[in-house]
Amino acid sequence: MAQNENDALRYSRLGISGTARVQGIGGSQAALGADAGNLAGNPAGLGLYRRSEFTFSPGIQFGNTKSTVDGASSVDQRQNLNLGQLGVVFGRRKSDGTEGAWRGGSFGIGFARQQSFHNKFNYQRAASGATIVESLAESANKFGIGQTNFENREGLAYETYLINYDEDAKEYYATNRLGVVQQSEDVLSQGAQNQWDFAYGASYRDKLFLGASIGLSTMRYNQVSTFKESENNSTTVFHNLTLRDEFTTTGNGINGRLGIIFKPNDLLRVGASFQTPTYYAMNDSYQTSLQVQEHESHNVSTDPGEYSYNLTTPMRLNGGVAFILGKNGFISGDLEYVDYSKARLNDETDSGEFRDENNKISTLFKPAVNFKVGAEGRFDIFRLRAGYALMGDPYENSAFDRKQSFITAGAGIRQSGYFLDVALVNSSANSVYSPYTLNNVSEQPVVNTKNRFNNLLFTVGLNF
């Protein structure tokens, strides 16, 4: 296993987070305030609080995938219970008759689930040309394996006679297989990227609101892939193989955020926030096993491995506007700028080991603009919400559309001492996956997956 540009992108793209109210309006909260979602967004919004608040937001996610390769499709699904948000805001405000330009401020502590890694997909195909065995032979010829070092895929393939070495030609070659080779793979991922925010927001003359926060990020990503090949030909010794890869990535990071909201009048609010790059300390643990059935069975595996490194994800610039429709509700919209080409991998000694990977990040990725819009209607104590978000494609040049879209809806009840909100977030995105590479790219399998997720989130809030 190795760290590459895909890992840097995975932890740089974030979804919609916050309370059910914020998620119900598509995450467009840069110019709004007095919501615990500001802890994970624009901390200036804390300056609009008039009293203290506690919020708790559990959720359940339903995921569905449809994977297509060589015209054949397979479907899969996965569910996950999660904690979407948790927060407490301590508000302190001067009474209206008290003098002073600074009218009050609030301090908040919050937890937000920034993105979920829970997913599952599978595929099947019939390969009549080169397969993963040829890929392993090509990789062994390119990088070498050392015939007494079996701590990688190529070494395991050599030990189980999938690939052999020709002393005359001085190269590795694949074991003989004939006819159609059946392939299948199951890929299961799980984990999440979360952040704890410690924020303060203040109000100046109830016109200008300023805020700052420190974010402590945590992540855990686990992926298990089980790849199989089988052949039914009596003239060859090969029958089948099962290759299982598992790796787990954990990380802890830190970032800072500054925010501002300006309210020129009761009808309009304009907001902006800046988040620094997030600096992560990462650790990977991994293991590979290979089972091969020929005339006899071979079952080998690598020793568990670990590797520590650093990752810096890009800064984020966010701006928004909100139109307040009196007691009838509001309409809000945000634009967020993220330059994914600025992500960087580094080893712990900053030796330049990731030079090639960082060059790929700079070349393959580009800046993207994320668009969010939402609205809330108020009907006495009831609230109805809807929103839409479109996360831009981070790839510079690609034949595949990798935008992410979110369609959201929500409802709520507001009382003097408590409130209840619910949101449904439907998200969709396409992904591309290849289990191995070949010198002849035309024979390399390319799996296109349509990912669809529905996340149902509930928020219970108490005012005090």
* β-pair partners for 85: 57, 112
Total domains present in the chain: 1
Q: Which of 187, 233, 183 is nearest to 72 (CA)?
A: 183
CA angle 367, 247, 113 (to 5 degrees): 55
| Full domain range(s) for residue 267 | 5-131+177-463
Tell me the whole-structure pTM to 2 decimals: 0.92
Residue 126's CATH number: 2.40.160.60
Per the domain annotation, does 165 fall within a domain?
A: no
Cβ pair 200, 106 in contact under 8 A:
yes
Contact 156, 302 (CB under 8 A): yes
Assigned domain for 164 exists: no
Helix, strand, coil share of the chain (percent; to 5)? 15, 60, 30
Concatenated DSSP letters of 118-141: -EEEEEEEEESS--HHHHHHHHHH
User: Cα–Cα distance between 148 and 48 in angstroms, integer?
Assistant: 66
Contact present, 9 and 357 (Cβ < 8 Å): no
| Inside any domain, residue 343 | yes
Task: Report the distance separating Cα 165 and Cα 137, nearest Å.
Answer: 9
Report yes or no: 242 and 188 within 8 Å, Cβ to Cβ.
Answer: no
Q: What is the pLDDT of residues 109-131, one digit of tens each?
A: 999 999 999 999 999 999 988 99
453 in Cβ contact with 427 (< 8 Å): yes
Query: Is residue 149 situated within a structural domain?
Result: no
Asked if residue 321 belongs to a domain, the reply is yes
- Rounded to whole angstroms, the maximal C-alpha distance in the chain is 95
Q: Residue 34 is encoded by which pair of tokens?
A: 């007095």
76's tokens? 């899969």
Choose among 358, 365, 421, 420: nearest CA to 395.
Answer: 365
Low-confidence ranges of the chain (pLDDT < 50): none
Does the residue 194 lie in any domain? yes
Q: What are 170's two structure tokens? A: 């001085």
Q: Is residue 162 domain-resident?
A: no
Reported as type and span, the H/E element at residue 98 is: none
Q: Is residue 138 part of a domain?
A: no
CA distance 32 to 221: 32
CB of 392 within 8 A of CB of 415? no
Six token digits for residue 174:
């694949």
